[in-house]
Structure 1
Amino acid sequence: MTTLCAELTFTAVAVPKTWLLLPLLLVMYGAGVLVIREAVVRVGGGWPSLVLLGVAYQLAEDGLGLQALTSPRMYGAADWGMRAFGVNLTYWESQIGVHVVLSVLVPIGLTNLLFPVQRDRPYLSNKGLAGTVVLAIVGVLGLRAFISALMDPGYRTPWGWTAVFFALIALCWVIALVVLPHRRARRVRPARSVPRPGVVGFVSLYLTMAFLTTLLPLGLGSHLLLGDLMSPPQRLFVAAMTAVPFGLLVLRWRAAADWSDRHRIWLIGGILVSHTAFMMYGSVSAVCVGAATLAVEVYLLTVLTRYVQRHPAEHRDGHHPGRLGAR
């Protein structure tokens, strides 16, 4: 699910050859996020822990694996925005948003909808978890050996930044698994009423596209939609002011009494559709592949909605308020 949501409905739209990397992507994305999900469930954490470990995941992938956070040549990302102290800040902010939401929160949310009884339960035994950790490490090393080495041959992240990335990853894990689960969660002031699911879907679609187009060129090409309207520091600020209020709005919606699984599906659907549509630029093939991908996404989300409606008892929110299955 993570590989599909984060990569194959995004990069593969413009670069269909991405499917050839499916075995590596399954190991890197699937194992990495499965470790995150298992760790958070085992300590009784909730969405704050998932978000923080999503940041750690992004640092491991883009900082240690792809080396894209510091490389001046990878993806041509150095031309997208602002660099400081040898780090591509624009790329970093964009990928934090993409990986926290598309790699971690959305796949886990979809899986919880498909298997509601398992929301607060580990999937793996201790041996299974240990093996998955090994696979996740292999996946990061694979990114370094196969993708980074081919796209940016000879480049090595400076040792200083490598040490910083390791330290930040460790800090994220400690806070997410040791500190946050034992803190009393602050009650979010709920919205009086949640809009219709379609409105939730439109808001998530619009704000996702606003975040992506503020930081990244359409289709990851050379055309930055708002490049002439804002300076690189302004784009960093505007993107943050798009993402943070959106997250707070979703928290208020989730706390409302009339929030439902249909709202969840429309929220996720808006994010996924916008994520795919962003890549439909630059070539006829991207438009065609993207249109087909969107059709499949909408169809599967419709099937999921019907599935949830047929099993209402299983999808009632009766879980501990701090756990993954809670509102």
Structure 2
Amino acid sequence: MAFLRNRRRRAALALVLVAPAVAELTLGSVPVRMLWLVVLYVPIYGAGVLLIREVVRRTGGGTGALLLMGLAYGLVEEGLALQSLTSPHLYGAAGWGPRPWGINAPYAELNLIYHAVFSVLLPVTLVELMFRDLGRTPYLRRGGLIGTAITALLGVGLLRVSVPPSQDPGYLLPGRAALVILGLAAASVVAALVLHRRRPASSDRPAPGRFRVGAVCAIAAFAFLALLFPFAGAHHPVFLPRAWAPLPMAVAALVAAAAAWRLRRWSAATGWTPRHRLAAVSGALIAHTAFGLVSHTRDPLDTAGLAVIGAVMILLLHRLDHHLATGTPDA
């Protein structure tokens, strides 16, 4: 019993560390020269994603529930804590494309889907593969769950009082917008808790090769990011005029939907294994770090640092794949 409790604690701690590492470090959003900034993100990312995982697994939710909760997470972080979904100044996001109802539309599409996938789904999947003997059982007891919820809430406040005042002074989210964002986040949470989609019917077709799975996820992840995030000196998505931004937005949505549909079909195939899941995760992570090298690094030190982070990430993913292949515990 003590061994099992220790394993659960280690799994919870791993998720607290993996979530901000995947979402911020491996993309280069936090430059190597400013790694100390990760401290600001550990409470909201670490505790927030751990709380999401615990709630979803306790209520029997699967991938769809994690994505919906990830959407709610993105609405809270970007909409309420950073105010970036509506700010006319922060990150220059207002200039990317149209702003219907005062919403930075391309930025919102990019970051809400990014948080659902890279901030929540992928970290939870990685840690569950690392501690696969625990399956989908909760990592925390009631006291730990309450403490995690409090820490996540404090993390929202910490981000709110640290980033907007320094990066976007003078802007305050309108009350009506705050209520709409809260309502959308609450609706996402409710949907995650009550709507449980059935798994697709098992297919007689064999599962595709792991390289193919990883390659498809890598291409989809890189394409999605490149379609929405202005990079290489561009001020609007894919170097198009600002008024044309809805076009790459639509293509990016199709890319995300097609990748999700394909993975759902593949996961029902005969022979789909945890190594296939890891291949999907690895492809997406490697592609998003590659995109970070293209789009997020301007200083040579930051470029070298992100390249080292990417290399270490690949080695760790390879190690996890080896443990999955041999059936030995990784953590």
* C-alpha separation in 1, matches of 2:146 and 2:293: 39
Match for residue 322 of structure 1?
none
CA gap of 1:191–1:156, structure 2 versus 1, over 3 A, is farther
Q: 1:226 aligns to what?
A: 238
- 1:46 corresponds to: 62
**Alpha-carbon contact 1:279-1:286 (below 8 Å) kept:** no
> Are positions 1:98 and 2:118 aligned together?
no
User: Are 1:64 and 2:80 an aligned pair?
Assistant: yes
Which residue pairs with 2:264 in the alignment?
A: 251
* Secondary structure class of the residue paired with 1:192: strand
TM-score scaled by length of structure 1: 0.89
Task: Report the Cα offset of residue 191 of structure 1.
Answer: 7.5
Whether 1:268 and 2:281 are equivalent positions in the alignment is yes
Letter aligned with residue 138 of structure 1: L
Give the distance between the partners of 1:189 and 1:224, measured in 2 at CA.
Answer: 43
> Is the contact made by 2:221 and 2:288 (CA closer than 8 Å) also made in structure 1?
yes
Greater Cα shift, 197-206 or 58-67: 197-206
Q: Equivalent residue for 1:285? A: 301
Residue 202 of structure 2 is aligned to residue 213 of structure 1: no
CA separation in 1, counterparts of 2:91 and 2:158?
17
Q: Percent identity?
A: 39
Residue pair 2:90, 2:168 contacting (<8 A) in 1 also: yes
Q: In structure 2, what residue type is equivalent to 1:7?
A: E
Alpha-carbon deviation of 1:224?
4.9
Task: Report the CA distance shift for 1:21/1:250 in structure 2 as closer, same or farther (over 3 A).
Answer: same
Matched residue SS, 1:271: helix
Q: Deviations over 1:28-67 (max 9, x none)?
A: 1011111110001111111111111111000000000000
SS in 2 for 1:71: coil
Aligned residue for 2:217? 204
Query: Could you tell me how far apart the structure 2 residues matched to 1:79 and 1:205 are?
Result: 28
Aligned partners of 1:2 and 1:104 also within 8 Å? yes
Count of aligned positions? 309
How far is 1:254 from its partner? 0.8
- Please name the residue that 2:195 is paired with: 180
Alignment-mate amino acid for residue 239 of structure 2: G
1:4 maps to a residue whose letter is: A
Partner residue of 1:151?
Answer: 167
Structure 1 portions without partners, runs of 5+:
316-327
CA–CA separation in structure 2 for the residues paired with 1:224 and 1:285:
26
Shift of 1:80: 1.9
Partner of 1:193: 206
TM-score scaled by length of structure 2: 0.88
Q: How far off its partner does 1:189 sit?
A: 6.4
Gaps of 5+ in 2: 1-17
Cα distance in 2 for residues equivalent to 1:148 and 1:225: 24
Q: Distance in 2 between matches of 1:86 and 1:143?
A: 22
The answer to whether structure 1 residue 5 and structure 2 residue 18 are counterparts is no
Of 19, 37, 43, which residue of structure 2 is paired with 1:27?
Answer: 43
CA distance in 2, matches of 1:191, 1:300: 33
Q: Name the CA shift for 1:188/1:158 in 2 (closer, same or farther; >3 Å).
A: farther
Give me the whole-angstrom Cα distance separating, in 2, the residues matched to 1:77 and 1:190: 43
Moved more, 141-150 or 288-297: 288-297
Q: 2:157 aligns with which of 122, 133, 141?
A: 141
Question: C-alpha separation between the residues in 1 aligned to 2:201 and 2:108?
Answer: 28
| Mapped pair 1:236 → 2:236 | no
In 2, Cα distance between equivalents of 1:223 and 1:198: 35
Shift of residue 169, structure 1, vs aligned partner = 1.4
CA distance in 2, matches of 1:274, 1:191: 30
Asked if 1:107 is matched to 2:123, the reply is yes
List per-residue Cα deviations over 1:163-214 (Å, max 9, x = no partner). Answer: 001111111112211x214xx6153564723322112111111111100010
SS in 1 for 2:163: helix
Q: Residues 71 and 155 of structure 1 are in contact (CA less than 8 Å); yes or no, is this contact kept in structure 2?
A: yes
* 1:80 lines up with 2:80 in the alignment: no
CA contact (8 A) 2:200 2:265 kept: no
Deviations 1:267-323 (A, max 9, x none): 1111111111112134433432232122111111111011112217x89xxxxxxxx
